[in-house]
Structure 1
Amino acid sequence: MRALRQDIARRITTASRRRRDGRIPLTGRHWALLVGFALTAVLVAVGLGLPTPRQAPSVPAERVAQARAALGGLHVVAARLRPPVDYQRSAFGQAWTDHGGVGAAGNGCDTRNDILRRDLAVTKSVATTSCPAAVAAGRLRSPYSGREIAFARGAGSAQVQIDHVVPLAYAWDMGAWAWPAPRRMAFANDPANLLAVDGPSNQAKSDLEPGRWMPALRGFWCQYAIGFLTVSAAYRLAVDEASRRTLAAALGECPAE
């Protein structure tokens, strides 16, 4: 490799080896090496990394069976419903409240920090007004993209975001608009419906249902479908036909034990 780089440098600096049109003759091996150097330089310069492929982990057959049963029990509608009342985030209560009545509610930490501590490899904690042991630093392998993210509390903390597996706006359309306020608050803070993910994936998903969005990392489709169906069944939400087909197909890819 070193000899090949030196050969390239020699050809670039030796005028006698130039062709009549002034260009420097490089072999296929030279061009491949140059392209590789250039790509590496670009990735390092902009701080990007390619998603790391991971082998899809096995899933207990019992969980897959339960998810299939949940799918079979959901009320299916032709398309996403249009409720008589427009969606408002405030209808689900204060964001990340510690008083949602589910999970670790009442432990003195807001829901966001509860999920960060559950999903990240935490390396540093700090006391804040909303949590005596808030996550200050850690690492996350995003289940949606496979990207590894170094999380640091502060200006760049939005690199890691907390996603509602079943989006609040979708839940609203599919029945949550008629729920009492405490049920909506519980839904918004239920750990079963929350995942720490990379910011770009969360922004791309927005409030889209499975029929229009699934994680970029296909190896996570099985787990995503199980989570979506488990929550939808627990809260008795309807599902649109396109999403039902997508979720059924995702369950078909589950690498059961």
Structure 2
Amino acid sequence: MRTRSGPRAALSAALAAALALGAAGCVPVDEPDVPPRTDGTAIQKLSQLTVASAGSMKGYSRERFPHWRDTGTNCDVRDTVLRRDGRNIRLSGCNVVAGRWESAYDGRAFTDPSDVDIDHVVPLANAWRSGADEWDDAKRGDFANDTTRPQLIAVSASSNRAKGDQDPSQWKPANRSYWCQYAENWVTVKHYWRLTVTSAEKAALTEMLEGCA
């Protein structure tokens, strides 16, 4: 059997070596120590949240979460949410002056925007105890005005005030048909903003989500 020699043999040997190295694979030098969080179901996102005891309220005030941000002349994020969540909206400039809103928390309906509160699904004080105390005020403002995630919702003033800063282990909407959506929204917000949950909070959310279709 004849063996090849010369330039062609050398080229073949080089190609074989390169293919062997490619087959063996390589590990990127900048591989992160912690795998990035990925989108998934609410249950999957909940499993990725850090469980920790609630932090201190020391230093907290609502002013540390600047809201509502301006969105136009005499208009702000509150108007944005009222317009998004309502029907038959009437405007004066960009101010919402009338419409119809149904509160998902308790099923009550309103036509006067002054009867409607804009709820932070994850309350500002809860966020403070869950890690937002370590943010600067600019980031806390981003959180308090977040209209991209399901963090802001138009609801009855009475339900918003009954909820206060409580988590789902302490308060749930009177409207049980909204529990699945409420739990999913809560988890989505905490997951995006990398906030912690207490063990009781996680247990309550798990129970709510496991009952969803």
Report TM bin, short chain.
Answer: 0.7 to 0.9
State the match for 1:89 in structure 2.
Answer: 62
Q: Quick check: 1:179 aligned with 2:135?
A: yes
RMSD of aligned alpha carbons: 1.7
Q: Quick check: 1:194 aligned with 2:152?
A: yes
Identity of paired residues, percent?
41
Alignment-mate amino acid for residue 54 of structure 2: R
Structure ID, larger Rg: 2
State the match for 1:203 in structure 2.
Answer: 161
Alignment-mate amino acid for residue 89 of structure 1: R
Shift of 1:139: 0.8
Aligned length in residues? 172
Shift of 1:209: 1.0
Alignment-mate amino acid for residue 189 of structure 1: N
CA distance in 1, matches of 2:169, 2:88: 34
Shift of 1:81: 2.0
State the match for 1:76 in structure 2.
Answer: 51
1:229 paired residue among 168, 183, 187: 187
Query: Given that residues 122 and 135 in structure 1 are in contact (C-alpha distance below 8 angstroms), is that contact kept between their aligned partners in structure 2?
Result: no
Shift of 1:213: 0.5
Q: What TM-score do the two structures reach when normalised by structure 2?
A: 0.76
SS state of the match for residue 201, structure 1? helix
Shift of 1:124: 1.4
CA distance in 2, matches of 1:179, 1:225: 24
CA distance in 1, matches of 2:89, 2:154: 16
Where do 5+ consecutive residues of structure 1 fail to align?
A: 1-63, 99-105, 128-132
1:130-182 superposed Cα distances (whole Å, 9 cap, x missing partner): xxx21111111110001122225xxxx1x210000000000001110111222
Residue 248 and residue 65 in structure 1: after superposition, are their counterparts in 2 closer, same or farther (change >3 A)?
Answer: farther
Runs of 4 or more, structure 1, over 2 Å off, are 106-109
Alignment-mate amino acid for residue 172 of structure 1: W
Shift of 1:201: 0.2
1:32-84 superposed Cα distances (whole Å, 9 cap, x missing partner): xxxxxxxxxxxxxxxxxxxxxxxxxxxxxxxx95211110000012x42225x
Q: Quick check: 1:112 aligned with 2:78?
A: yes
Alignment-mate amino acid for residue 59 of structure 2: D
